[in-house]
Structure 1
């Protein structure tokens, strides 16, 4: 099938997540870089499935020399039917130094003034259809929470 082009991916809205955050734990400079951990206290999932985010997850961040943050969020949701869903969000939050400092202080910042995107993968023994797709998310950082819309890549 020489000359056949691959399908062009599109994005379809899949679900929305709102994660409540605990106080930032600053570990300082480690062998991996400037490490910070942000505990996840709970939250909600709405859309392709509805549920709650369970306490106990966290975002294990690395702060780059330019102030950008490498996101590595791992947490568990419980869907309305009681089944567990593991979510893993990997991405980057970047912006000008003054905007990143304002976010760190917990100030309201227009989400168009910074870049905050993640790739989200899902594991679920009861919902295998979510394991067969890729998701990308556009995120907002509020003082004590992160909100995002995840889009399924078609």
Structure 2
């Protein structure tokens, strides 16, 4: 895997939307943020993260938001993943702390950013007070140019 960029998505407090047998669904508004690395720009403050609490300490996340690059291009982001917090009751084998991995998918029509639409990416995220940080890695096939 090759590190490509980091996203820091600023967030507002969660809003409870629904509670069913499948779990409790919450919405976390994304209010802005920054992108730095091979992709540079700002997180547009009009998206959100729909978070399904499956059990104590286990969350399924689905975030949708946009990035405006420093050159003015628009990148649409759909980022799904799983967060487990052992301190809340979930157990993640082999890890002493939080496990938060995602699979972001990027869409854009900007020719210089076509590389975002031709590869699989993996994100390692950390949720904090007021922001979620995601280090984005491109999955590279051995023997192919990076």
TM-score of the pair, normalised by structure 1: 0.81
Aligned partner (choices 57, 69, 92) of residue 82 of structure 2: 92
TM-superposed deviation, 1:148: 1.3
Question: How far does the alpha carbon of each residue in 1:38-88 deviate from its partner, in whole angstroms, 9 at most, with x for none?
Answer: 000000111111000001100011110343000101100000110100111
Question: How far does the alpha carbon of each residue in 1:106-136 deviate from its partner, in whole angstroms, 9 at most, with x for none?
Answer: xxxxx96110010111001002221001110
Larger-Rg structure = 1
Aligned partner (choices 107, 123, 128) of residue 142 of structure 1: 128
- In structure 2, the residue matched to 1:116 is 100
Between the aligned partners of 1:99 and 1:15, the Cα distance in structure 2 is: 32
1:28–1:68 Cα change, 3 Å:
same
Between the aligned partners of 2:96 and 2:136, the Cα distance in structure 1 is: 17
CA contact (8 A) 2:122 2:139 kept: yes
Q: Unpaired runs of 5+ in structure 1?
A: 1-10, 101-110
TM-superposed deviation, 1:98: 3.3
Between the aligned partners of 1:55 and 1:112, the Cα distance in structure 2 is: 33
- In structure 1, the residue matched to 2:119 is 133
SS of match in other structure, 2:55? coil
Q: Unpaired runs of 5+ in structure 2?
A: 141-146
Between the aligned partners of 2:107 and 2:96, the Cα distance in structure 1 is: 30
CA RMSD of aligned residues (A): 1.9
CA contact (8 A) 1:99 1:113 kept: no
1:112–1:39 Cα change, 3 Å:
farther
